[in-house]
């Protein structure tokens, strides 16, 4: 714009500046200010209320010495890796099936996507009921004659996170499928014709031609799933409450519990700073690859 030629630059675009005030306040005060505040106070020994008594890395030492935090991280890693792999694979396979020019495509898509409209609380409670060993799947298989059948993920500390994974996948796969379907629809029909003339089998066309062409969609899907994984909290609260014991804790729940239940603000700040760090480690290289490359 030709702002330089005007004498009163501050008045220029005055309404737009006024209109953008909420955005500026949100960005600067809440997002930047809030984040910096939390990081700074993670070095204090705040308990019930924030205090400016700096204790260096004490909170972090305590955090990494806490078994609850280590279990949280382990759960997040297991949940994260499996939900990323399964959501991508199942989402893509379903999208490929729906893309076969089938009848009732809209009906199938509506059914596969509806869990995404539900909250994690509803999802968690529904699966808590289905996986209930006394009434749910285990009970039914046993009553059919297989007496020794055991499937009680929510009551077994070793596999509880996989029980949560079942519910999480049910909730999110539809979304990934929709994204992938949009990506498949963006592939030129000529590619298919060409590969058919060359006699390339369909699965090879998908694997070596179509998927590489959908790189952007895959990255979007991965970022979407990953940011959802870090936030996973409601699902755990509803489905297991972190139990049995502390076997299904996750970092987001650790932060909430430290801040609002055990009046241990410093731990909450330190844990949330670690969560932030995790996101930075994931997002920065990706942003660099995505946006750094374009400038050249």
Partner 1 sequence: MTKAPHLMKNSLGYAAEPEANDGDVTLRPAESPFQQVRLEEGPAGRKPRPFLSRRNIIVYGTLIFVSLYYLLPLYVMIVTSLKGMPEIRVGNIFAPPLEITFQPWVKAWSEACTGLNCDGLSRGFFNSVQILVPSVILSIIIASVNGYALANWRFKGSETFFAILIVGAFIPYQVMLYPIVIMLREIGLYGSLTGLVIVHTIFGMPILTLLFRNYFASVPQELFKAARVDGAGFWRIYFQIMVPMSLPIFVVAMILQVTGIWNDFLFGVVYTKPDLYPMTVQLNNIVNSTQGVKEYNVNMAATILTGLVPLTVYFISGKLFVRGIAAGAVKG
Q: How many Cβ atoms are within 10 Å of 282's Cβ, its own excluded?
A: 16
Of positions 73, 94, 154, 270, contacts partner 1 by CB under 8 A: 94
Residue span binding partner 1 (CB under 8 A) among the ranges 66-74, 99-107, 148-156, 207-215: 99-107
Closest contact distance (angstroms) between CB of 294 and partner 1 is 15
Q: How many Cβ atoms are within 10 Å of 175's Cβ, its own excluded?
A: 20
Longest dimension (CA), the chain: 88
Closest contact distance (angstroms) between CB of 57 and partner 1 is 18
Closest contact distance (angstroms) between CB of 161 and partner 1 is 18
Of positions 45, 73, 269, 270, contacts partner 1 by CB under 8 A: 269
Closest contact distance (angstroms) between CB of 85 and partner 1 is 17
Q: Tell me how far the alpha carbon of residue 9 is from its chain's centroid.
A: 44
Of positions 6, 29, 186, 285, contacts partner 1 by CB under 8 A: 29
Of positions 80, 115, 163, 168, contacts partner 1 by CB under 8 A: 115
Q: Which is nearer to partner 1, 27 or 70 (CB)?
A: 27
What percent of the residues of the chain are helix, what percent strand, and what percent coil, each to the nearest 5? 75, 0, 25
Give the Cα separation of 176 and 224 in Å (integer): 9
Instruction: For CA atoms 65, 69, 71, 75, give the dihedral sign.
Output: negative
Give the Cα separation of 187 and 245 in Å (integer): 49
Closest contact distance (angstroms) between CB of 21 and partner 1 is 9
Q: Tell me how far the alpha carbon of residue 79 is from its chain's centroid.
A: 10
Residue span binding partner 1 (CB under 8 A) among the ranges 54-62, 76-84, 126-134, 153-161: 126-134
Interface with partner 1, residue 288, by CB under 8 A? no
Query: If you ran DSSP here, which 8-state letter would residue 54 be given?
Result: B
Q: How far is CA 260 from CA 48, 255, 274, in A?
A: 9, 8, 18
Binding mask 127-156 for partner 1 (x = CB under 8 A): xxxx----xx--xx--x-------------
Of positions 82, 149, 162, 256, contacts partner 1 by CB under 8 A: 256
Interface with partner 1, residue 161, by CB under 8 A? no
Window 232-251: residues binding partner 1 (CB under 8 A): 233-234, 237-238, 241, 251
Window 196-235: residues binding partner 1 (CB under 8 A): 196, 202, 219-221, 223-224, 227, 230-231, 233-234
What value, to the nearest 5°, has the Cα angle with vertex 53 and ends 47 and 54? 105
Interface with partner 1, residue 84, by CB under 8 A? no
Residue span binding partner 1 (CB under 8 A) among the ranges 62-70, 79-87, 152-160, 172-180: 172-180
Provide the phi-psi class of 53: left if phi over 0, else alpha when psi is between -120 and 50, else beta. beta
Interface with partner 1 (CB under 8 A), residue total: 101
Nearest alpha-carbon partner for 231 in 255, 247, 210, 258: 255
- Contact in structure between 116 and 94 (CB atoms under 8 Å): no
Closest contact distance (angstroms) between CB of 56 and partner 1 is 20
């Amino acid at each position: 714009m030709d702002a330089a030629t005007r004498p009163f630059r501050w008045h220029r675009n005055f309404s737009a500046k006024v209109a953008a005030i909420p955005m500026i306040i949100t960005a600067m005060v809440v997002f930047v200010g809030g984040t910096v505040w939390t990081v700074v106070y993670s070095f204090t020994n705040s308990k019930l209320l924030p205090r400016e008594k700096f204790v260096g890395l004490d909170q972090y030492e305590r955090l990494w010495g806490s078994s609850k935090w280590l279990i949280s991280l382990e759960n997040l890693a297991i949940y994260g890796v499996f939900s990323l792999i399964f959501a991508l694979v199942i989402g893509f396979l379903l999208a490929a099936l729906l893309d076969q020019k089938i009848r009732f495509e809209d009906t199938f898509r509506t059914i596969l996507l509806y869990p995404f409209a539900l909250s994690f609380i509803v999802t968690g409670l529904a699966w808590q009921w289905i996986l209930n060993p006394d009434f749910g799947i285990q009970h039914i298989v046993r009553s059919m004659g297989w007496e020794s059948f055991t499937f009680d993920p929510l009551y077994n500390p070793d596999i509880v996170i996989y029980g949560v994974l079942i519910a999480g996948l049910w909730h999110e796969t539809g979304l990934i499928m929709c994204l992938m379907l949009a990506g498949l629809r963006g592939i030129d029909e000529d590619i298919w014709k060409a590969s058919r003339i060359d006699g390339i089998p369909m699965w090879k066309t998908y694997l070596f031609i179509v998927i590489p062409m959908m790189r952007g969609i895959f990255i979007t899907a991965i970022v979407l799933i990953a940011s959802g994984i870090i936030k996973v909290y409601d699902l755990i609260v509803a489905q297991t409450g972190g139990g049995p014991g502390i076997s299904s804790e996750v970092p987001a729940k650790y932060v909430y519990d430290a801040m609002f239940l055990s009046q241990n603000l410093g731990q909450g700040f330190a844990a949330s700073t670690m969560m932030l760090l995790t996101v930075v480690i994931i997002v920065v290289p990706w942003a660099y690859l995505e946006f750094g490359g374009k400038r050249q």
